[in-house]
Structures are given as C-alpha cells and as structure tokens.
Amino acid sequence: MKIVVTVKLVPDTNADKRIDPATKRLVRTGVETVLNPFDEYAIEAALQLKEKLGGDTTVTIFSMAPETGKEIVRKALAMGADDAAMLSDAGLEGSDVWGTAYAMAQALKKVGFDLIVCGTQSTDAITGELPGALAEYLGVPGLTYLRKVDVDGTTVRGERETDNGYQKVVAELPALVSVTKSINEPRYPSLKGIMGAKKKTITTLSLAELALDRPVGSDGAKTEVLDLAAAPVRGKGRMVNASDGADGARIIVEFLREKKLL
C-alpha cells in the first residue's frame, strides 16, 4: 500500500514577523521556514500505519514548494518516510487555495496513492480548506478531522472529531484523510533517521509534466488581495494586584460592568 503525506513549508510562528509599511507585504528576510506543525501529526499517523501494516507499505512525503524547501522535506524523511516528491515550479507562485488544490491533485495522481494523509490546516494561511478541495479534485472520499485512523484491507475507518464528541466514519480506498493533533505524539527524528534521510530520493515534478487544463499561479487565481493592512495592535491594559479571592473577583466584576459585559 502506498501512503502519501502532504506537507507544507511555513514561516516559523516564533519568528518576529512584520509588514513592510511601504509594500504592504510580509518581510520574509530572516524569517525561518519550518515544517507546518500540523503536518507532523500526519507524518506520524502514516508511519504508525506503515508499522502496523508492514509488508510492502511505503510512506511518500509530498510537498508543493520551491526547490529551496528540499532541506525541510528531508526533515520529514528523517522521521522515517521512504521517499519524497516535490511539485516545484515558478508558475505556481501566487496560487490561491483553488489553484494549489488543483495543481496538487494532478501531481498526486501522477505520484500515485492508496491513501493520502493531510494535516488539518497550515499555520500561515490557516484556511483549512485544502483537504476538502483535494479530495474533490481527486474524486476520492475525504475523511477529515480524524482523531483515530486505521486501514483494514481496502477499507479506511476513523473517528472524526465533532464539537461535542466524535463520529465513526468508514470508506473504501483510495481515500484522503486529514488528522488532528489529538491523534498522536509525533516522533523526533533519530540520528540514524537523519543520516539515512540524506540518501533518500526526492523526485521533483514541474507543471510541464502535469496535464493541466486550466491556468494556475496568480493568473489562474480566483481571489486577489486588494489590501493588506497591519491589524490594530492590542495595547497593554490595566494590571491590578488582588489582595485575596474576594478582592480579585470584585475587581473583575467592576471591570465587566464598566465594559457592559455584566
């Protein structure tokens, strides 16, 4: 069985990000790129499935990213995946969710898969729309927000998180799943894994190799940014020391009344 995990490269959340007031664009200089934290759960889920299923099960990392992202893809390989495929093409720049999902779907068809495992969202765009759009373009069942996933023969089943519990869902392979952070605790790459990852194959695909029937990148995008403004800064408010519980409660109640929240 072939499991493919989609990963994204994102700016580090801890990095000091700022907007250039003149260009209204994100200043990327000096901002470190990392593996999207949500995708680590997807990699771990795929590796656990491989360990359970054994046999000829393989895990392939897939990323749509510039070739400079190779080193980060290698980190995913160091966790234990077998190989990787990247869709890298300057023509993809400026793609929106729609173009990204469409181009990725065509590339994933070429890579081949029985099961695709995605994180639920990325920490930069946070649209959370990619898994659904991918499933639609691939024409496979999309089992999203799983906190448990298992494969038995040609069947995939899982527990899908809901707001007040979960749903047991089941579908036939090939399929796509997205997994939440409650599914597992991602492993750290071992030294052996890191050394081994250097020898693993990373295949690169370009748009010319895909049979695209519509424009992608900024030309094909269905959305355009009209304006990008710095969000209003949340200033420092009041700080009050409470002498005891009743005093603290009194301070808060007075504050809530002032704000007409009580």
Backbone angles phi, psi at 78, to 5 degrees: -65, -25
Selected range binding another protein among 65-73, 85-93, 119-127, 196-204, rule: CB under 8 A = 119-127
Instruction: Report the residue from 133, 151, 210, 216 that binds another protein according to the rule CB under 8 A.
Output: 133
Rule CB under 8 A: which of 210-249 touch another protein?
220-231, 234-249
- Whose Cβ is closer to another protein: residue 195's or residue 228's? 228
- Residue 42 Cα distances to 59, 212, 242, angstroms: 11, 27, 45
Q: Considering CB under 8 A, how many residues would be counted as binding another protein?
A: 90
- The pairing of strands 115-119 and 2-7 is parallel
| Binding residue for another protein, selected from 53, 97, 202, 207, defined by CB under 8 A | 97
26 binds another protein (CB under 8 A): yes
Specify the residue, 55 or 235, whose C-beta has the smaller distance to another protein.
235
Torsion of CA 138, 140, 145, 146, to 10 degrees: -130
Amino acid at 27: V
CA distance 150 to 162: 18
Axis-axis angle for helices 130-138, 97-111 (nearest 10): 50
Residue 250 interacting with another protein (CB under 8 A): yes
Does position 144 interact with another protein (CB under 8 A)? The reply is yes
- Block residue for tokens 């990963």: 7
Is 167 an interacting residue with respect to another protein (CB under 8 A)? yes
The Cβ-side half-sphere exposure at 24, using a 13 Å CA radius, reads: 7
With CB under 8 A as the contact rule, the residue among 66, 91, 128, 196 that binds another protein is 128
Q: Is 27 in the site for another protein (CB under 8 A)?
A: no
Q: Count the neighbouring beta carbons within 10 Å of the beta carbon of residue 68.
A: 10
Based on the shown chain and the rule CB under 8 A, indicate whether residue 256 belongs to the binding site for another protein. yes
Q: CB under 8 A: which stretch of 54-62, 67-75, 173-181, 188-196 binds another protein?
A: 173-181
